Amino acid sequence: MFKDYDLSPRRVPRVETQFRRIVTDFPVPESVPVLEKLRALEPVAMRGQPPVVWDRAEGFQVYDRWGNQWIDWSSGVLIANAGHGRREIAEAIAAQASARLLTTYCFPSEVRERLLEKLAAVLPEPLKKIFLLTTGSETVECAIKLCRSHGVKTGGREKHVIVSYDNAFHGRTLGSQQAGGIPALKEWIVNLDPGFVQVPFPDGFRSTENSFEGFERALSERKVEPRNVAGVILETYQGGSAAFAPVHYMQALRQWCASHKALLVCDEVQAGFGRTGTLWGFEHYGIVPDLALFGKGMSSSLPIAAVAGRADVMDLYAPGTMTSTHTGNPVCCAAALASLELILREKLAENSARLGAVLHDRLHALDCRHPQIGRTDGKGLVAGVACVLPGRKEPDGALAWDVVERCVQKGVLMFSPVGPGGGTVKISPPLVIAEAALLESIGVLEEAFAEATEKKAAVA
């Protein structure tokens, strides 16, 4: 899915605007020694992103050490919701570090209490019990544990099935990859747990079945009895496409889970903290899950994640039996608290909704001009542009790579294509992006698509 970039510099057109500046060969010649040393010292798996050596990042822009700057359409990887390098977050981190309280394990701290109180105040009922962790994968592992523990308690040991979705990504650990719906990521697992079952995600594109009857039919085809389902987990939107499920489907799923005593788990690791134009992505469906999983944009900086849920579920384990070494790390808590306060004070979810409307209008117009775009999905400041072979649904990973590379060369930083066949161009700028910068970067994407499709047509 990921390609290994050629590090030999090649000439690109000079780009210099208020927000973008690339005035050298690309990759930047001075950066090549750094890139080569990283290649020698790190596993191959760490390659695959555009060869930009970050020196600093501020707001919605990323800078290297050699005078170049990019409008960031990656947010790291949907991390910097409140913006890169925010003074308030940096000062909160520095103040906590200066207090010389850098770790606490599960011993109480005031900064952890303040963060939990702030989170509980903005989360809906019944998501009022919160367990702090470090990564999204860790929250998924915790959710699997809670679903199965709750299932056994309410329905016996047969009630252990975890239902998830095709093409879903939930992390890179053993349990989270079994819950995921990407077969290539499970090839290393020689003893797959038969209690994990995937069903089609109702995106209306790769799966044209959008009715909830399709969910029930898929369970029947996989010989899963509803009474044996302990939990249903799904990304609030699928990370590999930015596709949302239909509202009626999610409301029916909410009712189905309640009637069968199965926990509904919304993986909000990408969707939370204003990314989709609402504070929580599940708000678009008019539902509240039993468990919600958070990470990435939670601190706009340092590694911290959380599971929020019903008290009766979160309290299933006795003291000391569900812990994590770095749970509630005080420095990470300080960063998360500062980030959440910025998101609320600056109304960044609302800004995401306002600018998202501009973004998606332009993307749909781009879609109409290029038959190589099979679908655009997303809400707020997240979007996925699916590159396909014209007139078909098969992903065109080569076209997606060409588009991303051209954008980076023109001063809009993106991470490598995602989704099936590496064919989706993902757009996810920090929520603080200025409208003028958003419009400029959309123009760059339009140029990149025009050039890449013209090149492809000429070769054909």
- Asked whether the predicted pLDDT for residue 456 surpasses 90, the reply is no
pLDDT at 2: 63
Q: Report the chain's mean pLDDT, rounded to a whole number.
A: 96
Report pLDDT digits (tens) over 342-399: 999 999 999 999 999 999 999 999 999 999 999 999 999 999 999 999 888 999 999 9
Residues of the chain above pLDDT 90, percent: 94
CA 75 to CA 339: how far, in whole Å? 14
- Asked whether the predicted pLDDT for residue 10 surpasses 90, the reply is no
24-82+348-459 homologous superfamily: Aspartate Aminotransferase, domain 1 (3.90.1150.10)
CA 363 to CA 25: how far, in whole Å? 29
Outline where 53-109 has alpha helix (H). 75-78, 87-98
Any idea which of 21-25, 192-196, 325-329 has the lowest mean pLDDT? 21-25
This prediction has a pTM of 0.97
- Asked whether the predicted pLDDT for residue 119 surpasses 80, the reply is yes
Of 114 and 390, the one with more pLDDT: 114
E strands, 209-361, in order: 229-235, 237-238, 243-244, 263-267, 291-294, 305-309
As a whole number, mean pLDDT of residues 94-103 equals 98
Give the angle subtended at the CA of 177 by the CAs of 142 and 319, to the nearest 5°.
Answer: 15
- Asked whether the predicted pLDDT for residue 1 surpasses 60, the reply is no
Listing DSSP states for 323-382 in one string gives --TTTT-HHHHHHHHHHHHHHHHTTHHHHHHHHHHHHHHHHHHHHHH-TTEEEEEEETTE
Structure-token pair, residue 146: 């809670």
**Dihedral angle at the C-alpha atoms of 400, 406, 412, 413, nearest 10 degrees?**
60
Question: Which are the contacts of 293, defined by CB distance < 8 A and separation ≥ 6?
Answer: 136, 139, 140, 143, 265, 266, 267, 268, 269, 305, 306, 307
Q: Which residues pair with 383 in a beta bridge?
A: 378, 427
CA 460 to CA 449: how far, in whole Å? 16
Amino acid occupying residue 436: A
Amino acid occupying residue 396: D
| Strand-pair category, 21-22 with 15-16 | antiparallel
pLDDT at 164: 98
Q: Which residues pair with 233 in a beta bridge?
A: 265
Report pLDDT digits (tens) over 304-318: 999 999 999 999 999
pLDDT at 172: 96
As a whole number, mean pLDDT of residues 115-140 equals 98
Phi, psi of 113 (to 5 degrees): -60, -40
CA 354 to CA 266: how far, in whole Å? 24
Question: Which are the contacts of 60, defined by CB distance < 8 A and separation ≥ 6?
Answer: 71, 72, 83, 84, 429, 430, 432, 433, 434, 437
Question: Which are the contacts of 97, defined by CB distance < 8 A and separation ≥ 6?
Answer: 331
Amino acid occupying residue 217: R
CA 330 to CA 394: how far, in whole Å? 47
- Asked whether the predicted pLDDT for residue 300 surpasses 80, the reply is yes
Domain residue extents for the chain = 24-82+348-459, 87-345
Report pLDDT digits (tens) over 198-230: 999 999 999 988 999 999 999 999 999 999 999
Q: What is the CA radius of gyration of the chain?
A: 22
Report pLDDT digits (tens) over 417-446: 999 999 999 999 999 999 999 999 999 999
As a whole number, mean pLDDT of residues 261-289 equals 98
Query: In Å, how far are 96, 241, 301, 303 from 332, measured between CA atoms?
Result: 9, 29, 8, 7
Domain 87-345 has CATH 3.40.640.10: yes
pLDDT at 458: 87
